Structure 1
Amino acid sequence: MATRRFLYAIAIGASLLASTASAQSVRSGIEAWGRGDYSAALGQWRPLAARGNADAMFNIGQAYRLGRGMPIDLGQAEDWYTRAARLGHVDAQTQLGMMLFQNGYPRAAMSWLKRAADKGDARAQLLYGTALYNGDGVANRDVLLAYSYVAKAAAQGLGPARSTMADMDREIPEHLRKLALSGATSQPAPAAATRPALPPVIRTATVIAHTPALPRDGGWRVQLGAFSQRGAAEALFRKFAPGPLAGRQPFLIPIGAVIRLQAGPFGSREEAARTCAALAARGQACFAIAAR
């Protein structure tokens, strides 16, 4: 069976902050966050995180990733997500997996995404299923198991999963799709000769469960440069995060030995171009780029 690679619709927007019925202080922090009082929110969460509260850990990771109450620090965000993920926090496992995949660590990413997918997270099911189909970060391609995961995500109403499932329906024969949905989801990987010589394509346009602070994604970003060190890219984003890039998300795209820094999302090319003009006025090279 000849197959083709599918695009990843990665949910890189800010997930809803975690809360539990038994954690009044976590909820109080969320209420402060909603008012824009990020310092108060963090003041509620940090003591809880120190006592091992996974919700608080995840929320602190969100604050670092979005630059709320402190400068954006993706390294700290990853660290806090990891702490929460190790305690079984599903949203943290999903967010950590997406971050690792975006930054070029597919094997580590899939380890966390599988855990979240098996606990029912639709975003993780979609990403892990797509990775199984493409053979990215997994030991073996498994088309039937891939279809099963994507179908579970689609059944939860996740739009990108429905689109991916429709694409798979055109690629996978009906009798194999039925076999996948019946639970018999093991199939040897197709021979290398049957795989198309296409590069992996990562699409990060879909924002799921985002906060109002993030603008609508019209499929555009700005690109600020390429760096040999991830830290240098992060530092440049932090430099402009309080100004022209306020409210935007950094994207670190590994290309060979370098990392491209992009920021967004933007609702249109014109909006991205206006941001580039503002950056150019401050001495920073920049150009608008389509994210799809």
Structure 2
Amino acid sequence: MNNFRGALIAIATLSLSQPLLADVKLGVDAWQQGDYAKALAEWRPLAEAGDADAQFNMGQAYKLGRGVSTDLNAAIQWYRKAAAQGHLRAEDNLGLCLFQQGDRSAAMPYLERAAARGDSRAQYIYGTALFNGDLVGKDWVRAYALMTRASASGLTQANSSLQQMNKYISDEQREQGKALAARMEREKGSLLASAPARNESAGPALRPAPAPIRTTEVAPSAPPARAEPPKVKTPTPPKPAPVAATPPARSASGPWRVQLGAFSADARARAMWTQLAGKVRGLSSYQPYYVQAGGITRLQAGPLDSSADATRLCAQIKSAGADCIPKRN
């Protein structure tokens, strides 16, 4: 009898799983159409019931201020719930938000894993911490490698940090850092950080999340190999000036933007922004502009400081298969 009752419970549970997933998908469809209120109405009950994907999506909504007022504290709460169930992208965003809120100590473990998974913002922040020995052990080789990867992804702040690092590290350390950066690029799959340990009875097994808002898919793997601190025979260099450790931020008032298209409906422009922000790394950190003119909505992103910055961003967007034109505002 107990076995029979258990079978009934299992069947009932299985029958509920499909509608829940369908509702998450309905919310994604609504989000992509610009109907954020409908998306949240689909996700909220699922998130409150413990669905990790819905919890991540709620965090995104509060972080971006779509359908609700921007509330970083609420976003952190939702990311934390999803991350506790093994949602890797929620864990990445949690570390960045905690750092932005000033809780740097709590952010560091999340940022380390996000950096290993290839998030350029996390690489920049964690690389800075390693270089300065701030809250983590000083490791100039690994710091240089992470900053090199962040720079290669187009993060302009990383370029400035590399120039500062070059004033202090030895040629040997620099070459070791470049070699480690190349290895990180070659072995992306094997350098992914493990998800944090948790009680398996508290939720589902670790799984890569679908991409409702952003599209980067990441599979769990082994922790990254940590470079040993280099043994340099030269005299100890003077203490370097700390590399700036603020979260990567775009220009607040630059005169340039990039135009991503012109649309007859505002909702189509917003849907295109959501699609491109998920395909083009770093694009989501820019501000979208929906410029109305003669019944047409022009989708633009910015601001950028220079024509070179706008041209560089357009090159990334075009490589993703979309149109892009640099424009001076």
* Alpha-carbon RMSD: 3.8
Of 227, 230, 238, 1:185 maps to 227
Q: In structure 2, what is the equivalent of residue 145 of structure 1? A: 142
Would the alpha carbon gap of residues 146 and 37 (structure 1) be closer, same or farther in structure 2, given more than 3 Å must change?
Answer: same
Pairwise CA distance, 1:108: 0.9
Q: In structure 2, what is the equivalent of residue 100 of structure 1? A: 98
Unpaired runs of 5+ residues, structure 2, are 1-19, 181-225, 252-281, 290-300, 306-327
| Superposed counterparts of 1:146-225, under 5 Å | 146-183=143-180, 185-187=227-229, 194-196=238-240, 202=246, 204-206=248-250, 208-210=282-284, 213=288, 216-217=302-303
Q: How far does the alpha carbon of each residue in 1:169-228 deviate from its partner, in whole angstroms, 9 at most, with x for none?
A: 454232212223445822279999932466955264238332764763458xxxxxxxxx
Pairwise CA distance, 1:60: 0.5
Q: How far does the alpha carbon of each residue in 1:227-286 deviate from its partner, in whole angstroms, 9 at most, with x for none?
A: xxxxxxxxxxxxxxxxxxxxxxxxxxxxxxxxxxxxxxxxx9xx9xxxxxxxxxxxxxxx
Give the 3-state SS of the residue equivalent to 2:82 in structure 1.
helix
Would the alpha carbon gap of residues 73 and 56 (structure 1) be closer, same or farther in structure 2, given more than 3 Å must change?
Answer: same
1:72, 1:129 → 2: CA distance?
A: 29
TM-score (norm 2): 0.50
Q: How many residues align?
A: 200
Would the alpha carbon gap of residues 154 and 202 (structure 1) be closer, same or farther in structure 2, given more than 3 Å must change?
Answer: closer
TM-score (norm 1): 0.55
Q: In structure 2, what is the equivalent of residue 32 of structure 1? A: 30
Q: In structure 2, what is the equivalent of residue 68 of structure 1? A: 66
2:116, 2:86 → 1: CA distance?
A: 12
8 Å contact from structure 1 (residues 122, 153) kept in 2: yes
Which residue identity lines up with residue 141 of structure 1 in the other structure?
K
Compare the two structures and name the one with the higher helix fraction.
Answer: 2
Unpaired runs of 5+ residues, structure 1, are 1-21, 220-267, 272-292
8 Å contact from structure 2 (residues 121, 248) kept in 1: no
Q: How far does the alpha carbon of each residue in 1:113-149 deviate from its partner, in whole angstroms, 9 at most, with x for none?
A: 11212223232222211221122332x2211111122
Which residue identity lines up with residue 30 of structure 1 in the other structure?
V
Identity %: 41
Q: In structure 2, what is the equivalent of residue 278 of structure 1? A: none
Q: In structure 1, what is the equivalent of residue 127 of structure 2? A: 129
8 Å contact from structure 2 (residues 125, 245) kept in 1: no
